[in-house]
Structure 1
Amino acid sequence: MDRRNFVKQNLKISALAGIGGLSVYPKTIMSDINILREEKEPHQFNLNYAPHLGMFQNLAGKDVIDQLNFMADQGFTAFEDNGMKDRPIELQEKMAATMQKRNIEMGVFVAHKIYWTSPNLTNGDKALREEFLKEIKESVEVAKRVNAKWMTVVPGYINVRQHMQYQTANVIESLKFAADILEPHDITMVLEPLNFRDHPGLFLSESPQAYQICKAVASPSCKILFDVYHQQIQEGNLLPNIEACWDEIGYFQVGDNPGRNEPTTGEINYNNVFKYIHQKGYKGIIGMEHGNSGEGEQGELAVIEAYKVSDDF
């Protein structure tokens, strides 16, 4: 049975049973998991989806290089690693060599210490700004080592004793200094708005706010990381908001809501989201920054199949 007919058959069964089609699809495939195991050729995805370490460790093993090779074998053409900066240099170099060999593009890593509960960039403290800029300089070396073009920046916690507009000015000023460091290396920091439920009290939470900041910084090295999971919770209206700030989006991350697991497990119609992004001509990376809804090998196979279904347009 070919994939398209297999997908349609399972969706029909789900519909007849009175349950949502795509949202339960990863569970229905478990009844015939051997169909997935029989596929030998890498899948050809329309977009550059980027798994992270640990997502396929039951199927690939715990070795980092084995996991990268497994991702490539499944057809994934990108990879992201929030913790890359903290990995030993020898491992960074080994990972970079593997990615180059397997035609995997390196996505984001976190560029600096994130202040989750106290202000840093928002209050204009010069010492904290210098700390941030020092870490950006260090991250440039990591990016060059692993061939990364993007790094994640989170401006940190709000200053409850200072007006929001002054905080915005402080953040913009710090990001301008950071952009001056990054521009000569053709590296982009992507600002990630985070939702109020998972990360209460953070300064940057919505895409229009990130858009305003990027316009003010006015640098190709300062763009938006549009995490669809966070923005579904924070603001909804996904496609119109993506359209409104399209020219400042440099990177996407995804996860379904509720649950922050793979597409098809929540309420977001990722088939439509991916189709829209593809039709816009997006050639960048879509980070798979989420967990697995199922456990073990079957849960990992379900993640792969969920992307194949959501990418089927």
Structure 2
Amino acid sequence: MKRRTFLNTTTMAGTALGISPKLFASEPWTNAHKFNLKYAPHLGMFKNMAGEDPIAQLHFMADQGFTAFEDNEMKNRPIELQERMKDVMAKRGLQMGVFVAHKIYWKEPNLASGNENLREEFLSQIKASVEVAKRVNAKWMTVVPGHVDLRQDMGYQTAHVVESLKRASDILEPHEMVMVLEPLNFRNHPGLFLSESPQAYEICKAVDSPSCKILFDIYHQQIQEGNLIPNIEACWDEIAYFQIGDNPGRKEPTTGEINYKNVFKFIHGKGYHGILGMEHGNSIEGAAGEQAVIDAYKATDQFL
């Protein structure tokens, strides 16, 4: 019996008996791939090969050679599960990536409006996210400033956003945590305040804090502005985190138009030691599609 099949079978049996799946975890495969960068899968990406249990999925990721993990929904998971996931990540050498830090206003303005009540709501959610980050050993959390305020000039909106982020930075700096601002493309998310990397760069310079940096999502910025490598270069000193997705389709590298091997080579050549979140879907359903994701990262990681 293949090791993977054995682990899946014993994990399911253990779960049925009320036994923690992590009791069945063993040492990583000796032939686990050695990636040059810290690519971070998310829950559900390998559910057919690893099973539905989040703990089993973390073990599977580590067995494949991945050294990081991200989870947008971590803040909403039960505390007991957060703690178990933290323990497994520590045991298996998986560094925690981003989780979403606050309620995102997709269709109405919040931070751009300057409304003090909405600002206080945001800041209270940042404080709560600090506790989650402590619990799961996270350093980065995603922030999206929300929808534009069509009743205000962009200059006023920017000033409101900067002030909110300065106050959030005051909360995060003592803990050496970082909120990463994510510009989102106008096709998938029309009407949002933050859409381009130069805009995020300008805001980070205005906030002037080590706790306010850029999340450069390569999929979003390919759609929004293209010119990926020059824009990454121009924003470099404010980028703290990357996310991945090919275009069109927002699936794994090699399925679209982005030359990910060259992009990864450039990022690696800049001396980047951070995380690249695999925030995309699988182009093929089932276990075959999950293996295709693993193979795509092995292929695009061969840039040295």
TM (normalized to structure 1)? Answer: 0.87
TM (normalized to structure 2)? Answer: 0.90
Aligned to 1:183: 173
Aligned to 1:30: none
* Mapping of residues 251-262 of structure 1, within 5 Å: 251-262=241-252
Amino acid at match of 1:192: E
Tell me, which stretches of 5 or more residues in structure 2 are unaligned?
Answer: 1-28
Identity of aligned residues (%): 76
> Structure 1 residue 40: deviation in Å?
5.3
Q: In the aligned structure 1, how far is the partner of 2:50 from the partner of 2:275?
A: 22
* Mapping of residues 50-89 of structure 1, within 5 Å: 50-89=40-79
Task: Indicate which of 164, 169, 172 corresponds to 2:154.
Answer: 164
Task: Identify the structure with bigger relative contact order (alpha carbons < 8 Å, sequence gap 6+).
Answer: 1
Q: In the aligned structure 2, how far is the partner of 1:292 from the partner of 1:40?
A: 26
1:91-124 Cα offsets, whole Å, 9 max, x none, are 0000000000001000000000000000000010
Q: Does 1:266 align with 2:256?
A: yes
Aligned to 1:306: 296
Tell me, which stretches of 5 or more residues in structure 1 are unaligned?
Answer: 1-38
Q: In the aligned structure 1, how far is the partner of 2:59 from the partner of 2:31?
A: 13
Q: In the aligned structure 2, how far is the partner of 1:64 from the partner of 1:298?
A: 20
Amino acid at match of 2:236: W
Task: Indicate which of 188, 193, 198 corresponds to 1:203.
Answer: 193
Aligned to 1:215: 205
Task: Indicate which of 88, 105, 118 corresponds to 1:115.
Answer: 105
Q: In the aligned structure 2, how far is the partner of 1:42 from the partner of 1:186?
A: 32
Aligned to 2:226: 236
1:144-193 Cα offsets, whole Å, 9 max, x none, are 00000000000000000100010000000000000000000000000000
Aligned to 2:12: none
> Structure 1 residue 228: deviation in Å?
0.2
CA 1:293/1:40 → structure 2, altered by over 3 Å: closer, same or farther? farther
Amino acid at match of 2:125: E
Q: In the aligned structure 2, how far is the partner of 1:252 from the partner of 1:165?
A: 27
Q: Does 1:285 align with 2:275?
A: yes
| Secondary structure of residue in 2 paired with 1:236 | coil
